[in-house]
């Protein structure tokens, strides 16, 4: 594990994290047992997006992820028990929304996402006015870097999502995602629990929010292994399909009873 620059760590931990003004950005990093990669991820964000606070949301890791993140200069939101990726990311969204941040970009804690692309996502969020921007490994020229099984899964979900979203999405499983405050408001109330990326797109569509994709670089993870093993792939597909289907049903229902309780919290997705 590479150590942080001591000066940066000391200054970054000096006080509570607050937005510095209009259009403030927060980078969130959901992490579970990522002690080997988290410091490099945080340092990379600090290097390429200086002055931007980094919030590591620790999903009750059993290793020293929290210490590594703090030493690297990140703020840490430590969950009291393991919630899974969706609950972990949503906790970050909730805190960011409460603190008043206008933009939040999620970077995975395993080092797969290149921090140099954060500004590209932020720029698209600001200029396009859309609610979500996905860093896509397939939107540009560098469309590779995934295994065969995942590639097949991505192609399958592209086909499923195309008619639902009304536009193509190249990389629906990407976790390199930026959102603005409107999406932050929505996701802090309603966010899928497991494998949230694909279902989040449908949640977004239910509100008629827009998303765009920007080409991004993806690297192999620095340490550890993906939580989605071959055995879990079938469960993943069934689970996500069910989630998409349920969201579509909710979308239709909402359209019929449009103005009723628009702000009511969605139980299943907080859940």
What's the closest the beta carbon of residue 249 comes to another protein, in angstroms? 16
What's the closest the beta carbon of residue 7 comes to another protein, in angstroms? 18
Which residues 6+ apart lie within 8 Å of 43 measured at CB? 2, 4, 5, 8, 72, 73
Residue closest to 86 by CA, chosen among 234, 253, 270, 268: 270
Question: Which of residues 56 and 216 has its CB atom nearest to another protein in the complex?
Answer: 56
What's the closest the beta carbon of residue 20 comes to another protein, in angstroms? 16
**What is the rounded CA–CA span in Å between residue 73 and residue 53?**
9
* Residue pair 101/184 in contact by the 8 Å Cβ criterion: yes
Question: Which of residues 95 and 121 has its CB atom nearest to another protein in the complex?
Answer: 95
Question: Which of residues 88 and 160 has its CB atom nearest to another protein in the complex?
Answer: 88
What's the closest the beta carbon of residue 94 comes to another protein, in angstroms? 6
Query: Which residues of this chain interact with another protein, rule CB under 8 A?
Result: 13-17, 75-81, 83, 87, 90-91, 94-95, 98, 193, 267-268, 270-271
Residue closest to 104 by CA, chosen among 127, 84, 87, 121: 121
What is the side-by-side strand order in the sheet with 132-136?
Answer: 75-78, 54-58, 25-31, 103-106, 177-180, 132-136, 211-215
Question: Which of residues 92 and 111 has its CB atom nearest to another protein in the complex?
Answer: 92
What's the closest the beta carbon of residue 109 comes to another protein, in angstroms? 16
User: SS3 of 55, please?
Assistant: strand
Question: Which of residues 233 and 270 has its CB atom nearest to another protein in the complex?
Answer: 270
* Residue pair 173/154 in contact by the 8 Å Cβ criterion: yes
């Amino acid at each position: 594990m590479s150590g942080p620059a001591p000066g940066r760590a000391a200054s970054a931990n000096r006080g509570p994290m607050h937005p510095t003004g209009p259009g403030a950005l927060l980078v969130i990093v959901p992490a579970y047992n990522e002690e080997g990669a988290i410091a490099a991820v945080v340092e990379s964000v600090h290097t390429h997006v200086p002055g931007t606070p980094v919030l590591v949301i620790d999903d009750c890791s059993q290793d020293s992820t929290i210490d590594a993140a703090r030493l690297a200069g990140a703020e840490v939101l430590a969950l009291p028990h393991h919630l899974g990726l969706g609950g972990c990311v949503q906790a970050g969204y909730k805190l960011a929304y409460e603190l008043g941040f206008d933009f939040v970009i999620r970077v995975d804690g395993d080092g797969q996402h290149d921090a140099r692309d954060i500004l590209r996502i932020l720029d698209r969020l600001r200029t396009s006015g859309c609610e979500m921007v996905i860093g896509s490994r397939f939107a540009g020229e560098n469309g590779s870097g995934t295994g065969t099984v995942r590639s097949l899964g991505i192609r399958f979900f592209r086909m499923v999502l195309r008619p639902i979203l009304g536009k193509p999405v190249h990389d629906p499983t990407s976790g390199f995602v930026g959102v603005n405050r409107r999406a932050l408001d929505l996701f802090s109330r309603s966010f899928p629990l497991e494998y949230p990326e694909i279902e989040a797109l449908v949640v977004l569509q239910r509100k008629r929010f827009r998303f765009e994709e920007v080409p991004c670089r993806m690297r192999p993870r620095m340490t550890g292994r993906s939580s989605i093993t071959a055995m879990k792939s079938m469960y993943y597909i069934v689970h996500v399909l069910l989630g998409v289907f349920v969201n579509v049903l909710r979308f239709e229902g909402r359209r019929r009873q449009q103005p009723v309780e628009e702000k009511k919290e969605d139980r299943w997705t907080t859940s």
